[in-house]
């Protein structure tokens, strides 16, 4: 089992290099096809223009979006053409309200989508929108890579965050190409429920399933000693020298995560190593 169709959706030259580096390294490792979708994003809301201005402003914003798409495409082509892997690229323009449709269409036919972190300096709302579109509408696993991080093709230690959720199980299944090749897969269970179906053996069923694929699993049961789950996972990743975190995405609604926060949002904000997520 391996990833054979890899996709990266790029909306800015400034955020492209790290995602492309990971995309190329993974394509080389898995003998896969690397695809770059380069989008110029029209961030305006045309319904709010004053009378008579819509046509002029719309044309200006479309021209700007087309120029951005062409710039990102040229940058991606320059990098991909030098890497020696099978690749393709395409550009397009999307209004921010319609961004998810364009991303989801490509993500549905990809084994793995490689994207930059959606939160941080120099990131517009479209970067978060791309991640969510790939996860929700595209139903694809997403590898979120921190800016400047070195490509990880065969992680030695992988943390799998396990809370018995459907999202967590989906992430573990879709991460199998990484898990099977890892030296150690650490299934991390934080404060397991005392009355849950796995109360006597937290993480045992998942460990059994992954082991049958050849993964070498260990189970770490941790206490919730910090307010945020993401803080515990990040600290444990540092303590164990992990190269990658695998976790389910958005167990709560996106609206709740955006307003109140949640493990997914905090993890995407704070991660220093690649995070593979699925929903």
Q: In terms of pLDDT, which residue wins out, 222 or 252?
A: 222
Confidence of residue 51 (pLDDT cuts 50, 70, 90): low
Which pLDDT score is estimated for 251?
A: 63
- Residue 209 shares a structural domain with residue 129: no
The whole-model pTM stands at 0.91
Considering the domain boundaries, does residue 224 fall inside one? yes
Write the pLDDT tens digit of every residue in 212-230.
999 999 999 999 999 899 9
- Residue 213 shares a structural domain with residue 126: no
Considering the domain boundaries, does residue 270 fall inside one? yes
Counting the structural domains of the chain, the total is: 2
Considering the domain boundaries, does residue 151 fall inside one? no
3-state secondary structure labels for all residues of 233-246? HHHHHHHHCCCEEE
Q: How far is CA 274 from the centre of its chain?
A: 8
Which pLDDT score is estimated for 119?
A: 87
Considering the domain boundaries, does residue 102 fall inside one? yes
Considering the domain boundaries, does residue 152 fall inside one? no
Note down the domain range covering 108.
Answer: 5-145
Single residue among 100, 119, 145 that ends a domain in this structure:
145
């Amino acid at each position: 089992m391996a990833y054979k169709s890899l996709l990266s959706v790029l909306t800015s030259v400034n955020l492209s290099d790290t995602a492309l580096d990971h995309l190329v390294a993974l394509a080389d490792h898995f003998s896969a096809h690397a695809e770059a979708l380069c989008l110029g994003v029209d961030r305006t809301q045309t319904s709010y223009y004053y009378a008579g201005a819509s046509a002029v402003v719309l044309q200006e914003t479309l021209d700007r979006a087309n120029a951005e798409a062409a710039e990102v495409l040229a940058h991606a082509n320059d990098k991909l053409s030098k890497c020696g892997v099978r690749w393709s690229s395409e550009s397009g323009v999307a209004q921010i309200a319609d961004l998810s449709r364009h991303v989801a269409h490509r993500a549905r036919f990809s084994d793995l989508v490689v994207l930059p972190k959606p939160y941080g300096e120099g990131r517009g709302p479209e970067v978060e929108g791309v991640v969510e579109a790939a996860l929700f509408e595209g139903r694809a696993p997403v590898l979120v890579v921190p800016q400047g991080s070195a490509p990880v093709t065969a992680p030695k230690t992988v943390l799998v965050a396990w809370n018995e959720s459907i999202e967590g199980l989906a992430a573990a299944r879709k991460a199998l190409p990484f898990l099977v090749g890892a030296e150690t897969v650490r299934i991390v269970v934080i404060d397991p429920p005392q009355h849950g179906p796995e109360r006597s053996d937290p993480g045992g069923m998942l460990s059994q399933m992954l082991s049958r694929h050849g993964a070498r699993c260990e189970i770490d049961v941790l206490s919730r000693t910090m307010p945020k789950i993401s803080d515990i996972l990040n600290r444990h990743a540092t303590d164990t020298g992990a190269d990658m975190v695998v976790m389910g995405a958005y167990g709560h609604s996106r609206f709740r995560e955006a307003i109140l926060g949640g493990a997914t949002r905090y993890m995407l904000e704070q991660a220093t190593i690649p995070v593979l997520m699925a929903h």
